[in-house]
A = this chain, B = another copy of it.
């Protein structure tokens, strides 16, 4: 074996992807001597990054300078997609595993652990009498919660279709964002409750007696708003188990996509419950819901309790490429026509976690500031 081949083999065993240089360019190496075409597909670029093979079978390629951000990617080897074996930082979205990479030096830093006090993240089971099951949720308690005797405000943070109680903390990096923003004085210390919002699923795949089954999109259209109707059970559980401030001013609800629809409905169904409501790329309104038989008058009726008793802060955030934009425009018009104060924030991009992390980051400083 030549020295160069030996060097190459030793290189192949020491791959860690990506390496990120001082210009924020990410370099990938893939050891795949028999492959014909190797590329990296990720949300750092709309085009795949095609890697080039060297004489030892090591493929490599480098992106251009990347804005500071958390990105996800996969390898495509001869048209089959794989998670990158040289990067163990992975996230699951429904049944698909992607690798994670963070370009620091800017907002990406907000999604990484820093040397700041850390909250506790717990996987907790609660009983839902209305759904007839123990159900799983993720709870974040802020740094200092356990050593304190204070009560804390609560943000209920709801995932989208395809997600579960793990989604906001894994894909959404909720605990990292909270730790960092609380440390920087940008967010009040708060409890964050991330329940499983699927009407017919009671825990993330692998945590039920269904065993290790194939995760699939959990469709909520036919579940008769079971989750929304059961939400008071979650609030009661949280107020019972944790030291919470139980008045309206110390409760907020936010959700993305299907969970944005949940936040919309739950806040209207419980008008005394939340003082801040955030709809991220929300499935708001009944448009596109095959089982809905509703019209403008029904929205009037549904929203009346909240219109009569509006929360202090109500925000809709959505990307200009989002397929739910029209739903959101219509609801924005509805709120305007009923003079309900709210923000409508249009961002770049579409229906994706990159936006939802940003929306959460923008929301947190608005919560519980004046509610001491």
Chain A residues in contact with chain B, CB under 8 A?
Answer: 16, 30-36, 77-83, 85, 87-90, 92, 95-97, 100-102, 104, 112-115, 117-118, 120-125, 134, 136, 143, 146, 203, 205-209, 211-215, 241
Looking at chain A's contact residues, is the secondary structure mostly helix, strand, loop, or mixed?
loop
Contacts of A208 in B (CB 8 A): 113, 115
Contacts of A120 in B (CB 8 A): 122-125
Report whether A34 and B79 are in contact in the complex, using a CB–CB cutoff of 8 Å.
yes
Q: How far is the CB of A186 from chain B (nearest CB, A)?
A: 18
A112 with B211, Cβ < 8 A, contacts A82-B82, A97-B83 known? yes
Report whether B118 and A31 are in contact in the complex, using a CB–CB cutoff of 8 Å.
no
Report whether A85 and B82 are in contact in the complex, using a CB–CB cutoff of 8 Å.
yes
Across chains A and B, which 8 residue pairs bring their CB atoms closest together, nearest first? A34-B78, A16-B214, A122-B122, A118-B125, A115-B209, A82-B82, A121-B123, A32-B80
Q: How far is the CB of A71 from chain B (nearest CB, A)?
A: 11
Report whether B97 and A88 are in contact in the complex, using a CB–CB cutoff of 8 Å.
yes
Q: How far is the CB of A133 from chain B (nearest CB, A)?
A: 9
Contacts of A122 in B (CB 8 A): 120-123
Residue among A35, A113, A117 with the highest chain B CB neighbour number at 10 A: A113
- Bound-complex Cα distance A136 to B241 (A): 23
17 new A-B contacts, CB < 8 A, other than A16-B95, A120-B125, are A34-B79, A77-B77, A80-B85, A81-B85, A82-B82, A83-B83, A87-B212, A88-B95, A88-B215, A89-B212, A90-B90, A101-B212, A113-B203, A113-B208, A117-B134, A118-B125, A120-B122
Contacts of A77 in B (CB 8 A): 77, 80
Q: 5 A-B contacts, Cβ less than 8 Å apart?
A: A34-B79, A81-B85, A90-B90, A113-B211, A114-B209
Residue among A34, A81, A121, A203 with the highest chain B CB neighbour number at 10 A: A34
- Bound-complex Cα distance A121 to B100 (A): 24
Q: How far is the CB of A98 from chain B (nearest CB, A)?
A: 10
Report whether B97 and A85 are in contact in the complex, using a CB–CB cutoff of 8 Å.
yes
Report whether A34 and B36 are in contact in the complex, using a CB–CB cutoff of 8 Å.
yes
Report whether A89 and B16 are in contact in the complex, using a CB–CB cutoff of 8 Å.
no
Q: How far is the CB of A125 from chain B (nearest CB, A)?
A: 4
Q: How far is the CB of A8 from chain B (nearest CB, A)?
A: 14
Contacts of A205 in B (CB 8 A): 88-89
Residue among A32, A85, A209, A215 with the highest chain B CB neighbour number at 10 A: A85
